[in-house]
């Protein structure tokens, strides 16, 4: 008796070896443990004949890629953000899209505070000064910064991560928390977070620390630009944990240089891993390379969830965290399933 051919999946970037091993229990796996950054053409070439793909947030999956990969049935992103996916195009093509929400919430919120504390208290700027051998004596105003406890925290984007940040600010640091979001939270959730809904303008004008955790979309592009920076207090800090493009990085660098706001902490950048050259030359910004979810248990949980989504869909037509569940069982999906 001939055995049915196992589905084939491609893992587009290097990942924990245990995840690759787990996938090999179910699939023929093409890996990229050498972590070569594939061009779009190389991605399409590697996807040929593949039924599933494991992506990490940087691989663009759009109508062109889908048309060039007729066997592809599911793409699982190891990220909560999915702005690398054209979800409507995936739905139209009958390809399931999944992301990795929930498992990174608390770790990312912790990092929001790491960045906020480092920025408000000038941790990296003062460390550079010390390492450069400039520290010769104590001074009353040396690296004087802003308080975090008891201050006003303004959160733009109040999904799971925004709420986890609000809880930390309210319960841990005694902050007054205000937020702005597409929709107002229900009263019980607001109370649990100790957060009040305000307009964007009120948030920008009243917050001592502004934290951005809104997903990236055409609508959220440059949520913070020159006009918004001009509304912030000169003593305020701005933290971007969400995605490059939500802040106009050139306008931010200009505001930091002119000190129209005090400081910024950025984990994400427009066009990353490139960083706007002006941000590299202003001292009052803390820069980290997109590591907000980077702890071993959390990255493992994100990778496991992406792998579970591939296994679930390709073996049992179900997924834990689908972005377009209407694909499951749709005519377009059946058509793809019928292809070898």
Q: Out of 243, 276, 299, 336, pick the active-site residue.
A: 243
Residue placing its CB nearer to ligand GLV in the complex, 108 or 151: 108
Task: Give φ, ψ of 108 to 5 degrees.
Answer: -70, -40
For the beta carbon of residue 23, count every other beta carbon within 10 angstroms: 21
In the sheet that holds 195-197, the strands lie side by side as: 195-197, 176-180, 152-156, 209-212, 237-240, 263-266, 285-287
Give the 3-state secondary structure of residue 96. strand
Query: φ and ψ at 158, to 5 degrees?
Result: -125, 50
Least gap, CB of 80 to ligand GLV (angstroms): 4
Whose tokens are 């928390």? That residue is 177
CA 54/CA 48 separation, integer angstroms: 14
Judged by CB, which is closer to ligand GLV: 12, or 146?
12
Residues that bind ligand GLV (CB under 6 A): 57, 79-81, 104, 293
Residue in this structure with the two tokens 């306008």, named with its chain if needed: 251
128 an active-site residue? no
Q: Which is nearer to ligand GLV, 57 or 322 (CB)?
A: 57
Strand partners, 265: 239, 286
Minimum gap (Å) between residue 71 Cβ and ligand GLV: 27
Is 272 catalytic? The answer is yes
Given 46, 170, 276, 290, the catalytic residue: 290
Smallest separation, CB 81 to ligand GLV (Å): 3
> Is 167 one of the annotated active-site residues of the chain?
no
Distance of closest approach, residue 213 Cβ to ligand GLV, in angstroms: 11
**Of residues 91 and 293, the one with the C-beta less far from ligand GLV:** 293
Residue number with the smallest Cβ distance to ligand GLV:
81
List the catalytic residues.
Answer: 243, 272, 290
């Amino acid at each position: 008796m001939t055995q049915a051919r196992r589905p084939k999946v491609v893992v587009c970037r290097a990942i924990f070896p245990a995840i690759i091993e787990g996938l090999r229990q179910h699939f023929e796996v093409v890996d990229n443990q050498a972590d070569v950054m594939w061009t779009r053409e190389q991605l399409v070439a590697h996807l040929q004949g593949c039924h599933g793909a494991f992506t990490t947030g940087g691989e663009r999956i759009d109508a062109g890629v889908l048309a060039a990969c007729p066997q592809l049935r599911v793409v699982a992103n190891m990220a909560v953000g999915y702005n690398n996916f054209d979800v409507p195009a995936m739905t139209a093509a009958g390809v399931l899209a999944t992301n990795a929400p929930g498992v990174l919430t608390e770790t990312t919120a912790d990092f929001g505070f790491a960045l906020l504390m480092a920025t408000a208290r000038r941790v990296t700027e003062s460390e550079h000064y010390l390492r450069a051998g400039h520290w010769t004596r104590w001074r009353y105003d040396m690296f004087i910064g802003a308080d975090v406890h008891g201050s006003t925290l303004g959160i733009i984007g109040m999904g799971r991560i925004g709420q986890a940040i609000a809880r930390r600010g309210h319960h841990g640091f005694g902050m007054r928390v205000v937020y702005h979001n597409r929709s107002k939270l229900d009263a019980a959730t607001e109370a649990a977070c100790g957060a009040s809904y305000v307009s964007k303008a009120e948030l920008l004008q009243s917050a001592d620390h502004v934290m951005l955790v809104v997903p990236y979309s055409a609508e959220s592009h440059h949520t913070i630009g020159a006009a918004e920076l001009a509304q912030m207090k000169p003593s305020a800090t701005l933290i971007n944990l969400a995605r490059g493009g939500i802040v106009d990085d050139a306008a931010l660098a200009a505001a930091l240089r002119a000190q129209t706001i005090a400081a910024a902490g950025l984990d994400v950048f427009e066009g990353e891993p490139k960083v706007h050259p002006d941000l590299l030359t202003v001292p009052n910004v803390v820069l980290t390379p997109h590591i907000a979810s980077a702890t071993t248990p959390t990255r493992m949980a994100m990778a496991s969830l992406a792998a579970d989504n591939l296994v679930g869909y390709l073996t049992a037509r179900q997924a834990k965290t689908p972005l377009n569940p209407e694909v499951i069982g749709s005519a377009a999906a059946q058509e793809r399933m019928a292809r070898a």
